Amino acid sequence: MSEMPAPTMTEPTVDPSVLAATPVDAQGTPRPVDAVFTVEQLAFFYGANQALRDVSLSIGRHEITALIGPSGCGKTTFIRCLNRLNDLIPGTRVEGRIDFNGSSLYAPGVRAIDIRRRIGMVFQKPNPFPKSIYDNVAIAPKVNGIRANMDELVEECLTRAALWDEVKGKLRDSAFSLSGGQQQRLCIARAIAIRPEVILMDEPCSALDPVATIRIEELMVELKSDYTIVVVTHNMQQAARVSDRTAFFTVDVSEGGRTGMMVEVGSTEQMFTAPSDQRTDDYITGRFG
Amino acid sequence: MSVAVDRRPDPASAPRLPGRARRLVRAHRARRRARLSELTRPDRVVRGVLLVAAIIPTFALAFLAYQMLKYAYPAIVFNGWHVFTTKFSLGNQYSTAVQVRHGYKAPKGAVYGILPLLFGTLISSLIALFFAVPISVAGAILLVERLPVRVQGFLGIFLELLAGIPSVIFGLWGIYTFGPFLSRTVYRWIADLHIPWLRGPTGAGEGLLTASLVLAVMIIPIIASITRELVRSVPPLAKEGAVALGLTPSETVRFVVIPYIKTGVIAASILGWARALGETIAVLIISGDLLGAYPHSIFDPFSTIATTIASELDSALTDSTGMAVHALAEFGLVLLVVTLLTNLGGRLLTRRFSAAGLPVGRGV
């Protein structure tokens, strides 16, 4: 896995006319007071294709922020910008600004590896290491030099991920012996084992059945007290059930290509009851998407 | 207290299937007939050709094994367990004096011991594997994980070219260039360490180590090209999982790539091993040919089963009793068995590793 040089980064040149056209918070929603991420005018390119534009939002600490929108609207691309996972793809470029705890994520001198140790991620499909259940949780803390009683840490993380009772007797079994839902909870345990501040979840339930989905959702709400969670979801009910704030993305085809863009962001209640943009209203009422 | 009751129908009282089952069987047969009669003429031709093609390899193997066994049979009876001795001699083929054992004749003084050859075959191929497997795996991972796609394709061509070089060329290269070079440089240095088995005169570079190293070069393309495909097939999602945890590229290789490819690498190594076991001409040129004794050091001459069959066949054909050729056939049979056993062992090993729950073929 080659580490690509950090994508080039340009400081935003924000002139007032652009600001006027940028997405606004849904009416009456205050911005989060304590923001982990502050994103301004983010745009993302795969080579010459612009995949994302006009993303400006703040992600509040100990909140669950849901990203919703139709397929191809750049939700996944956006969430992968937050832990610089897109660095792995050659020829990609980021414009705009992402601040993580007040300092620029893409500034020169910031190592992506250090960032990723503070920002955990859970993927669309469970992707445990081809190792034992125990090792799946223990590997990352071990190589990242976390000094702790490993057995205690493994138990603690598996307990937090609501998996301990199901696996405590077979920690040495392969992770692949678990069911899909269990594997996904193992991946959550693996993510919290490095003690991150943020957990990014990219459609964590898309490969799971309804029962496993409910378990993951309960888990997200429970983890909120210790972690900041950003979750991409296709499932609007899920966003409504678990999130504190919701951002709506859509696809813009007006300039020929298919570019994802953020339409608006606001408290989940506001977004689902009184969105300020017609497109959001159309999407959540099922008129498209 | 219950008594076990045999609920199976009594064959005498129920000689025929019940009517419904009979009807089902009849319908199935009718469908099968209909399916075959629905075949058009070209269909039938294709079906016939495919059938023949499928049968040929099976028959070829069975026929080969039968011929080998038939040819080796007199030697198997004559040698008995004595085949597992050190000494090897075709005997005095110019004298009319013969020895008779179990009704089979052989020239006086003839002893057909296979042990040093078996040793030579196994040790040279294992040394070759010892060098080839790490080089192949490291090379394949480097190629796929670290180099740009264009360079990958370019270097891949070399790998395929290496696989296509005739083995006699490898033999000549080993004896004239590679061996003398190693003998002047690396071998001197190793011999000076005075480690048992790794010391002694290094000569002109013939012998066990050079032959093993040339074998390694010959099997690297086999193992490396399979490993390359294995590394390519590791799901990107699995690697991203490691990267997202802040693991470095080399940690990602260690914890994701290698566990994923482990089983496949074993299978690839078995393929390479089989090639090394049977390799004849390159080893014959480089080995220095030592019959009836074991090499004393890694620089000594040696022989393998395959090289001995090739080098002794000419003399064996002049044996008027015919036993020498039968003995070489028996050696060939032993080589066949060794190859089959390593193959079987590899299969068991891969199955054991797969049973450990590796996601082989599950596309996780």
pLDDT at A256 over 80: no
Residue A273 near chain B (CB below 8 Å): no
pLDDT averaged over chain A? 85
Q: From A175, A201, A180, select the one nearest A119 (Cα to Cα).
A: A201
- Interchain pair B356, A129: CB under 8 A: no
Count of residues in chain A: 289
Is B235 in Cβ contact with A127 (below 8 Å)? yes
**Residue range A122-143: mean pLDDT, rounded:** 92
Nearest CA in chain A to B356: A174
Please state, in angstroms and rounded to a whole number, the distance separating the CA atoms of residues A129 and A140: 11
Kindly state whether residue A1 falls inside one of the protein's structural domains.
Answer: no
Q: Higher-confidence residue: A10 or B66?
A: B66
Kindly list the residues from chain A whose CB atom is less than 8 angstroms away from the CB atom of residue B356. Answer: 174
A240 located within any domain:
yes
Question: Is B168 inside any structural domain?
Answer: yes
Partner residue facing B239 (CB), from A1, A139, A191? A1
How would you label A241-256 residue by residue, b for 16+ Cβ within 10 Å and e otherwise?
A: bbbbbbbbbbbbeeee
Which of A4-18, A248-262, B235-249 is most confident?
Answer: B235-249
DSSP H or E stretch at residue B305 = helix B305-316
Q: Identify the H or E element spanning B28.
A: helix B19-37
Decide if pLDDT at A17 tops 60.
no
B77-116 residues touching A, CB cutoff 8 A: none
- Inter-chain touch B358–A130, beta carbons under 8 Å: yes
- Whether residue B360 is predicted with pLDDT greater than 60 in this model: the reply is no
Which A positions 160-179 lie with beta carbon below 8 A of chain B?
173-177
Yes or no: say if A18 and A57 are a contact pair by the CB < 8 Å rule. Answer: no
d(CA B26, CA B18): 12
Domain range for A252 is 16-284
Instruction: Single out the residue of A188, A175, A59 nearest to residue A122, CA to CA.
Output: A188
Residue A89 domain-assigned?
yes
> Do A125 and B364 make contact, defined as CB atoms within 8 angstroms?
yes
Would A4 be classed as within a structural domain? no
Asked whether residue A137 carries a pLDDT value surpassing 90, the answer given is: yes
**Is the distance from CB of A230 to CB of A50 less than 8 angstroms?**
no
Average pLDDT, integer, range A31-55? 87
Query: Domain for residue B70, yes or no?
Result: no
**Is A191 part of the contact surface with chain B (CB cutoff 8 Å)?**
yes
Token pair listed for B8? 């199976």
Does A123 lie at the interface with B, CB-CB under 8 angstroms?
A: yes
Nearest CA in chain A to B248: A113
Taking the Cβ of residue A245 and every Cβ of chain B, the question of whether any pair is shorter than 8 Å is answered with no
Give the whole-angstrom CA distance, residue A70 versus residue A288. 8
For chain A, say whether B146 makes contact (Cβ under 8 Å): yes
Domain assignment present for A11: no
Tokens at B33, concatenated: 């007939």
Of A84, A105, A104, A97, which is closest to residue A54 (Cα–Cα)?
A97
Of all helices (H) and strands (E), which one includes residue B117? helix B115-141
pLDDT of residue B12: 52
Number of domains in chain A: 1
Q: HEC string of A257-269?
A: CCEEEEEEEEEHH
Residue A136 lies in a domain: yes
B358 domain residue, yes or no: no
| Cβ contact, residue pair A2, B146, below 8 Å | yes
Which of B79, B181, B120 minimizes the C-alpha distance to B308?
A: B120
Asked if the model's pLDDT at residue B7 lies above 80, the reply is no
B306 lies in some domain? yes
| Residue A82 sits at the chain B interface (C-beta within 8 Å) | no
Domain-located, residue B92: no
Most A-contacting residue of B245, B247, B352, B354 (CB-CB within 10 A), to test interface:
B245
Nearest to B225 by CA among B164, B148, B156: B156
Tell me, what's the pLDDT at B5?
A: 53
- Chain B contact for A121 (CB, 8 A cutoff): yes
Query: Residues A128-144: what's their mean pLDDT?
Result: 92
d(CA B92, CA B170): 35
Residue B330 lies in a domain: no
Judged by CB atoms closer than 8 Å, whether chains meet at A139 and B255 is answered as yes
Domain that holds residue B188: 118-323
**Residue with the larger pLDDT of the pair B22 and A76:** A76
Q: What is the CATH number of the domain that holds B311?
A: 1.10.3720.10
CA distances from A92 to A37, A47, A53, B168 (A): 21, 6, 14, 50
Please count the structural domains in chain B: 1
CATH number at residue A235: 3.40.50.300
- B64 falls within a domain: no
Return the closest-CA partner of residue A94 out of A108, A103, A229, A102.
A108
A-chain CB neighbours of B354 within 8 Å are none
* Set of chain B residues whose Cβ sits within 8 Å of the Cβ of A144: 245-246
Please report whether residue B84 resides in a domain. Answer: no
Strand A64-68 with A245-252, pairing: parallel
Which residues on chain B are in Cβ contact (under 8 Å) with A190?
A: 241, 245
Residue A36 lies in a domain: yes
- Give me the pLDDT at residue B8, please: 53
Question: Among B145, B253, B259, whose Cβ lies nearest the Cβ of A129?
Answer: B259
In this prediction, residue A182 carries a pLDDT of 92
Q: How far is the C-alpha of B259 from the C-alpha of B35, rounded, in Å?
A: 47
Nearest chain B residue to A83, by CA:
B244
Chain B closest-CA separation from residue A60 CA (Å)? 21
What is the three-class DSSP state of A188?
helix
Write out chain A residues lying below 8 Å of B358, CB-based.
130, 174, 176
